[in-house]
Amino acid sequence: MKNSFKFSTLVALAVVTLAPFAFAADPAPAPAAPPAPDMDAHPRPNMRAMMKHRMEFLTEKLNLTADQQTKIKAIWKQSAEQGKAMRDDPANKDLSREERRAKREAMMKANHDQVRAVLTPEQQAIFDKLPAEGPGRPEGMKPKDS
């Protein structure tokens, strides 16, 4: 009985003493690093999908021609460049939130008017009845009721 107690104690002591070395010798695999971002990719991939969805929606509702689609895409591209320039403009940093919002809304209205100008009178009538939310607009970007 004494010998088994001594043996059990010796084994327990050996396990406690050697356990840290056993775990240190076999390190856990390091988590895989996330892939490096593709610098040529669009900065907001969801924006590309959203614009594609918007174009499909307008094409379906308004029966847009290929020429009209090209012109509208150019308007949207120009608007995106203007928006980026406005965000990057140091002078806009000094504006209040309301002033920045007013500038952004004026730019969006000009964009809307340019798109509307590409349309035929029949298409304009349908376009004017389309909901302001539109497809693909993120939930946080839906217009507020005035």
**Lookup result for tokens 């591209």:** 77
Taking Cα atoms as reference points, which of 101, 107, 46, 35 lies closest to residue 78? 107
Taking Cα atoms as reference points, which of 125, 123, 79 lies closest to residue 104? 79
Taking Cα atoms as reference points, which of 146, 141, 119 lies closest to residue 62? 119
Which sequence spans correspond to the domains of the chain? 45-137
SS3 category, 72: helix
pTM over 0.85, yes/no:
no
Per-10-residue mean pLDDT, the chain, length 146: 68 64 56 54 68 90 93 91 85 84 90 93 91 54 46
